[in-house]
């Protein structure tokens, strides 16, 4: 099930169902059971309640053991967002870092549609599916790169999962020279969301305030915000 379809389903559930029904455990349980393939359903339903009490190792372990329908698709991004990101890349840039690169879909696409030297960073020891990019293991809270190391820094479908968001945003801006590009869902807060999200951005102003880059644009592309901040370094 691709991202555009799941975004459409989420929109109907979040904006058209009565909140008393949309956030009822008994109503949402079957959806969680299907989405998470019947595994650890209670854990994922109550993730928001327990997330901030977990150690960093326990928190990471939840994600390492995660198996859901989202993992059956090549990327969490919808293709219009992917194409929009590539269209908006700074034309004078030479290097790009993708933080939280996952299996490398966005990096592979950028590498194939630009002349940028690309690098990925994530928590995995290695990412075998990266085709044309360098890779370095690291955490978004302490990126293993020098200040202003890359012209462009991208980060897609990551910040909505973070417990210490200001630290992460600071790091993304620290290692970027020209652009910071962030993709995250346009989503209302509900307790029972089938995505382990902790941060929600139903309007652009919430995201713009969070990132704090004066020169920016924030565009809704089929249910996902594409935030592009222009740095003056």
Question: Which of 53, 72, 91 lies at the terminal end of a domain, its last residue?
Answer: 72
Within this chain, do residues 47 and 122 fall inside the same structural domain, yes or no?
no
In a 3-state reduction of DSSP, which class is residue 176?
Answer: strand
What pLDDT, in 10s, does the model give residues 99-141? Answer: 999 889 999 999 999 999 999 999 888 888 898 899 999 999 9
Within this chain, do residues 213 and 170 fall inside the same structural domain, yes or no?
yes
pLDDT value of residue 233? 77
Listed residue (186, 218, 183) closest to 202, CA to CA: 186
Within this chain, do residues 49 and 96 fall inside the same structural domain, yes or no?
no
Question: How many separate domains does the chain show?
Answer: 2
* Predicted confidence (pLDDT) at residue 2 exceeds the cutoff of 80: no
Within this chain, do residues 111 and 221 fall inside the same structural domain, yes or no?
yes
pLDDT value of residue 1? 63
Within this chain, do residues 50 and 83 fall inside the same structural domain, yes or no?
no
What pLDDT, in 10s, does the model give residues 136-182? Answer: 999 999 999 999 999 999 999 999 999 999 999 999 999 999 999 99
Within this chain, do residues 95 and 168 fall inside the same structural domain, yes or no?
yes
Within this chain, do residues 116 and 187 fall inside the same structural domain, yes or no?
yes
- Quote the CA–CA distance of 107 and 129 in Å, as a whole number: 10
- For residues 214-232, give the mean pLDDT: 96
Within this chain, do residues 128 and 42 fall inside the same structural domain, yes or no?
no
199: left (phi over 0), alpha (psi -120 to 50) or beta: beta
- Quote the CA–CA distance of 98 and 32 in Å, as a whole number: 30
Domain containing 109 equals: 79-230
- For residues 193-212, give the mean pLDDT: 96
Within this chain, do residues 115 and 212 fall inside the same structural domain, yes or no?
yes
Within this chain, do residues 151 and 116 fall inside the same structural domain, yes or no?
yes
**36: CB partners within 8 A, 6+ apart:** 44, 66, 67, 68, 194
- For residues 88-94, give the mean pLDDT: 96
* Predicted confidence (pLDDT) at residue 88 exceeds the cutoff of 80: yes
Query: Is-contact 181 81, C-beta < 8 A?
Result: no
Helices then strands, each counted (H, E), the chain: 10, 7
Within this chain, do residues 109 and 126 fall inside the same structural domain, yes or no?
yes
Q: Which residues pair with 156 in a beta bridge?
A: 183
- Quote the CA–CA distance of 233 and 229 in Å, as a whole number: 12
- Quote the CA–CA distance of 152 and 130 in Å, as a whole number: 18
Within this chain, do residues 146 and 180 fall inside the same structural domain, yes or no?
yes
Question: Which of 72, 107, 133 lies at the terminal end of a domain, its last residue?
Answer: 72
- For residues 57-70, give the mean pLDDT: 88
Strands across the sheet containing 117-122: 134-137, 117-122, 95-99, 150-156, 176-185, 224-230, 216-221
Average pLDDT, the chain: 94
Q: Could you tell me the CATH number of the domain that includes residue 184?
A: 3.40.50.150
pTM: 0.93
């Amino acid at each position: 099930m691709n991202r555009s379809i799941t975004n459409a389903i989420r929109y109907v559930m979040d904006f058209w169902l009565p909140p008393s029904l949309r956030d009822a455990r008994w109503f949402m349980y079957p959806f969680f059971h299907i989405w998470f393939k019947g595994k650890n359903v209670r854990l994922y339903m109550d993730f928001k309640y327990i997330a901030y009490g977990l150690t960093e190792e326990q928190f990471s372990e939840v994600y390492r053991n995660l198996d859901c329908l989202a993992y059956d698709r090549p990327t969490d991004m919808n293709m219009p967002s992917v194409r929009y990101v590539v269209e908006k890349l700074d034309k004078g840039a030479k290097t790009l870092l993708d933080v939280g690169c996952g299996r490398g879909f966005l990096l592979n696409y950028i590498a194939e549609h630009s002349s940028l030297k690309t690098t990925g960073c994530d928590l995995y020891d290695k990412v075998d599916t990266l085709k044309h990019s360098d890779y370095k293991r690291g955490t978004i809270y302490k990126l293993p790169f020098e200040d202003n190391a890359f012209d462009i820094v991208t980060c897609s479908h990551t910040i909505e999962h973070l417990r210490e968001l200001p630290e992460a945003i600071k790091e993304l801006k620290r290692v970027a020279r020209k652009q910071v590009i962030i993709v995250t869902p346009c989503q209302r807060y509900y307790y029972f969301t089938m995505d382990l999200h902790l941060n929600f951005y139903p309007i652009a102003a919430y995201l713009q305030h969070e990132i704090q880059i004066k020169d920016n644009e924030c565009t809704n592309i089929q249910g996902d915000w594409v935030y592009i901040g222009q740095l003056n370094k």
